[in-house]
């Protein structure tokens, strides 16, 4: 019987059991695709159907799922994205995160709509998925390496510079509760602690390479839609701003003036220092270029480089709006180079920049209120505006050293550990730090934060 599958889908899911070192291909049909669509729909279906209640998110019973959507890998603009999901070590609910870049397209071209990873490997491994085949390969030699070293090593081993790698850094290996999965060096499935889930499975990376174009049902219609999008793309002011500056450009002024910018652990609404850290300043001073995701002409990804007072590697890109706000205004820091360095460190170690900046901002408020002191922090003067303290904390978090071990548990758990009323100003929803948009100004955003971590 011929499997009926709509255009934009492959019709196959790859299931890998790391405990048993086995894999199987599962067929999905037209009805399944139309009901659950892909991405978050596929992930939610399998997690709700297959996970036992009350499991430990960092146990072998959890499942890590990557899923593409019907547009992924097609010529339609925005067709680069994929979703990742698992039970969250931060919230205990479903963590769903998205990324762009090139990895999702490569997975689909390799022959799969989704990847379900079960169990736990006895030793560190990485997956090699290529044109319908899978190899489970040893990764002890790259365990402990940062993301750039990991990607470089895998590409050399596979003999192909176009291999796309979804991976964790030392933060995921050390089970930092808000570790992320890096898609290349400057795209991330960042929210909810998916990197910790990946690390708990002794899975360092998933490398993919495929050569089979994604088929669509009506190529002429897809071409027509793509042309219309291209013809109208730059009529939108936001698209133009993102093309020119990336996220976090001149719009910063409107955000700060309206009180929508999180400032010093969300307790304030004004931050004159925004003038020193927005993407327009980045463009004029330290930006050396712009890149984009697969098939996207907007090219909103900043590439930054400088050597003083510390070097920043352009391969790690540059900070998005959320990162500028998290490490900048929310930590009371207006040193742009320190923020860009913090972004590089997080991409190298595999840390969610939103949660990393948020837990440090919370700790800064605790420090200034006298709830913790230098004895707790290891002699770090954890005051708002201290950019040296910010960078030091990121290093400690990723390696779970000193005070970083406590920070690595996330804002909610840190607040409970500190006590003394600290939980009153720990800003999170069900254990997950908020995105950098003030929900008191936009109630719909607050509702979205609440729904996202159910």
Q: Using alpha carbons only, what angle is made at residue 352 by residues 45 and 104, rounded to the nearest 5 degrees?
A: 50
Say which residue the tokens 């409107």 belong to: 254
* Domain-wise residue ranges, the chain: 12-209, 236-452
**Model pLDDT, residue 252:** 66
In CATH terms, are 12-209 and 236-452 the same topology? no
pLDDT top residue among 235 and 82: 82
Q: How confident is the model at residue 61 (pLDDT cuts 50, 70, 90)?
A: very high
CATH node for 236-452: 1.10.569.10
pLDDT at 3 over 70: no
**Model pLDDT, residue 251:** 61
Range in 86-95, 217-226, 245-254, 415-424 with the lowest mean pLDDT: 245-254
How is residue 174 annotated by DSSP? T
> φ and ψ at 304, to 5 degrees?
-120, 150
Mean pLDDT, range 238-246, rounded to an integer: 92
Instruction: Report the sign of the C-alpha dihedral through residues 406, 407, 412, 418, in that order.
Output: positive
Span 97-136, pLDDT tens digits: 999 999 999 999 999 999 999 999 999 999 999 999 999 9
SS3 444: helix
Distances (CA, A) of 153 to 26, 39, 51, 198, 204: 31, 29, 34, 19, 12
Contact criterion met (CB below 8 Å) for 14 and 42: no
What DSSP assignment string belongs to 346-386?
A: HHHHTB-HHHHHHHHHHHHHHHHTTSS-HHHHTS----TT-
**Model pLDDT, residue 250:** 63
CATH number for domain 12-209, candidates 3.40.190.10, 3.10.28.10, 3.90.1150.10, 3.60.9.10:
3.60.9.10
Say which residue the tokens 């490398």 belong to: 207
Span 258-306, pLDDT tens digits: 888 999 999 998 999 999 999 999 999 999 999 999 999 999 999 999 9
What DSSP assignment string belongs to 325-342?
A: HHHTGGGT---HHHHHHH
Span 128-145, pLDDT tens digits: 999 999 999 999 999 999
Phi and psi based region of residue 165 (left: phi greater than 0; alpha: psi -120 to 50; beta: remaining): beta
Say which residue the tokens 């409970």 belong to: 416
Span 431-452, pLDDT tens digits: 999 999 988 888 888 888 876 6
**Model pLDDT, residue 450:** 78
How far apart CA 60 and CA 90 sit, in angstroms, is: 17
Span 383-405, pLDDT tens digits: 999 999 999 999 999 999 999 99
pLDDT at 454 over 50: no
The proportion of the chain whose per-residue pLDDT surpasses 90, expressed as a percent, equals 90
Q: How confident is the model at residue 428 (pLDDT cuts 50, 70, 90)?
A: very high
- Exposed, middle or buried: residue 303 (CB in 10 Å: 0-12, 13-18, 19+)? middle
**Model pLDDT, residue 447:** 85
Structure tokens at 143: 């365990």
pLDDT top residue among 149 and 253: 149
Mean pLDDT, range 183-211, rounded to an integer: 97
**Model pLDDT, residue 1:** 46
> From the centroid of its chain, how far is CA 350?
8
Mean pLDDT, range 65-94, rounded to an integer: 95
């Amino acid at each position: 019987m011929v499997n009926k599958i709509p255009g934009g889908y492959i019709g196959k899911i790859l299931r890998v059991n790391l405990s048993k070192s086995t894999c199987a291909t599962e067929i999905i049909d037209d009805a399944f695709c139309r009901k659950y669509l892909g991405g978050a729909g596929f992930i939610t279906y399998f997690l709700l159907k297959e996970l036992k209640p009350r499991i430990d998110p960092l146990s072998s019973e959890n499942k890590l799922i990557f899923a593409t959507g019907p547009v992924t890998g097609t010529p339609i603009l925005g067709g680069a994205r994929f979703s990742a999901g698992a039970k969250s070590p931060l919230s205990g609910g479903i963590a769903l995160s998205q990324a762009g870049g090139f990895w999702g397209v490569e997975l689909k071209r390799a022959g799969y709509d989704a990847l379900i990873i079960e169990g736990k490997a006895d030793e560190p491994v990485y997956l090699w998925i290529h044109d319908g085949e899978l190899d489970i390969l040893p990764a002890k030699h790259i365990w402990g390496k940062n993301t750039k070293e990991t990607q470089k090593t895998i590409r050399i081993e596979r003999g192909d510079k176009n291999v796309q790698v979804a991976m964790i850094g030392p933060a995921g290996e050390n089970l930092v509760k808000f570790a992320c999965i890096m898609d290349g060096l400057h795209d991330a499935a960042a929210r909810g602690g998916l990197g910790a889930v990946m690390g708990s499975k002794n899975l360092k990376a998933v490398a993919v390479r495929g050569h089979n174009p994604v088929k669509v049902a009506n190529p002429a219609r897809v071409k027509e839609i793509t042309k219309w999008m291209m013809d109208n793309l730059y009529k939108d002011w936001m698209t133009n701003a993102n093309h020119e500056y990336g996220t976090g450009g001149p719009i910063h002024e409107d955000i700060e003036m309206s009180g929508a910018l999180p400032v010093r652990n969300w307790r304030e609404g004004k931050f004159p220092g925004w003038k020193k850290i927005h993407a327009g300043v980045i463009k004029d001073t330290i930006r050396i270029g712009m890149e984009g995701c697969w098939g996207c002409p907007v090219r909103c990804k900043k590439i930054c480089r400088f050597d003083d007072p510390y070097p920043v590697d352009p391969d790690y890109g540059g900070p998005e709006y959320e990162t500028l706000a998290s490490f900048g205004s929310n930590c009371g820091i207006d040193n742009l180079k320190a923020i860009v360095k913090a972004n590089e460190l997080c991409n190298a170690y595999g840390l969610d920049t939103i949660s990393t900046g948020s837990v440090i901002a919370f700790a800064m408020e605790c420090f200034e209120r006298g709830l913790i002191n230098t004895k707790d922090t290891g002699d770090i003067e954890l005051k708002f505006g201290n950019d040296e303290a910010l960078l030091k904390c990121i290093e400690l978090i990723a390696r779970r050293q000193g005070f970083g071990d406590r920070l690595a548990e996330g804002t909610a758990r840190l607040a409970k550990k500190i006590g003394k009323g600290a939980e009153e100003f720990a800003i999170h929803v069900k254990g997950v730090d908020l995105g950098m948009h003030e929900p008191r100004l936009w109630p719909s955003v607050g509702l979205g934060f609440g729904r996202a971590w159910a």
